[in-house]
Structure formats: C-alpha cells, structure tokens
C-alpha cells in the first residue's frame, strides 16, 4: 500500500498531503499491532511424570517454569461472563505459592471439567478439592 501511495498518481482530487497522512496512519497502526502481537507470549503447559512445566515463548526468547506435583494445591473451575453476558468458564491450577495458572477456557463448563479430568489423569493425581 505504501508503494502505491508513493509511486502511483493520486486519484481524482485527493491531495498529496492527505495521502501521506493516510500512509503515516497505516504505518502507525501496523507498528502498534505488531508491537502488541510480539509482546504477548505463546504459553504451553506440559505434563511430566514429576509435575508440570509452563513454557512461555516470545519472538526471541523462551522462559520455562517447572512445578512439582506436590506443589499443586487445587484445581478450580471459575465462572464469569463474557462481553455479551454469556457464562464463561476457566479451569485453573492453584499452586502452593499462590500462583494461579489457567489451562482451559470455554463457554461450556463440561469442556473445562473434561480438561481438568485429563490433567489429573496425566499427573496421576487423586481428586483435588475445589476451592
């Protein structure tokens, strides 16, 4: 788009200044979107025989946190509302140090319950009480 704005003739009665301003707005919006996209990590939860690991990936680095099975204090399913007022559920792990890690989100409670059961089976945990 920038190449077209700078190299092609300006259509009709549109001013060159207005097209340059449009080009600047286009670039500012693109840089803002790229900044937002690259500053949020992609997070992966992995189950191991001795616990779980949380990998957070950014564009240039990776951070891994490992938690033992006995650090898991509880698994919860919290209910809230989305922006339209519909019920929204979040399945989370609460660790002994108070860290809360969400691992499943859905509009259906059954999906979060199924994800919680799968995680308990993968970790060979007894049923963990809800808070």
Residue 131 domain-assigned (yes or no): no
Nearest alpha-carbon partner for 17 in 5, 7, 27: 5
Let me know whether 54 and 116 are in one domain: yes
* Weakest-pLDDT range from 14-18, 51-55, 102-106: 14-18
Question: Quick one: 72 exposed, middle or buried, by C-beta within 10 A (0-12, 13-18, 19+)?
Answer: buried
pTM over 0.85: no
Return mean pLDDT, the chain: 86
Residue 6 domain-assigned (yes or no): yes
Let me know whether 31 and 70 are in one domain: no
Place of tokens 């209910």: 79
HSE-CB at 25 with a 13 A cutoff on CA atoms is 6
Q: How many domains does the chain have?
A: 2
Q: Is the pLDDT of residue 128 over 60?
A: no
Let me know whether 48 and 34 are in one domain: no
Q: Cα separation of 114 and 131, whole Å?
A: 18
Higher pLDDT, 12 or 43: 43
Nearest alpha-carbon partner for 75 in 107, 51, 108, 102: 102
Residue 130 domain-assigned (yes or no): no
Mean pLDDT (whole number) for 69-81: 91
Q: For residue 14, give its domain range.
A: 2-39
Let me know whether 47 and 22 are in one domain: no
Let me know whether 101 and 46 are in one domain: yes
Let me know whether 8 and 54 are in one domain: no
The reported pLDDT for the residue numbered 30 is: 92
Residue 85 domain-assigned (yes or no): yes
């Amino acid at each position: 788009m920038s190449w077209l704005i700078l190299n092609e003739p300006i259509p009709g009665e549109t001013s060159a200044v207005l097209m340059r301003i449009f080009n600047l707005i286009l670039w500012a919006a693109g840089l803002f979107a790229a900044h937002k996209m690259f500053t949020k990590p992609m997070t992966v939860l992995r189950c191991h025989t001795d616990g779980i690991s949380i990998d957070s990936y950014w564009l240039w680095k990776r951070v891994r946190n490992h938690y033992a099975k006995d650090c898991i204090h509880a698994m919860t399913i919290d209910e809230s509302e989305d922006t339209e007022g519909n019920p929204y559920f979040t399945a989370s792990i609460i660790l002994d140090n108070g860290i809360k890690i969400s691992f499943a989100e859905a509009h259906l409670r059954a999906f979060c319950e199924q994800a919680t059961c799968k995680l308990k089976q993968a970790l060979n945990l007894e049923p963990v009480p809800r808070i």
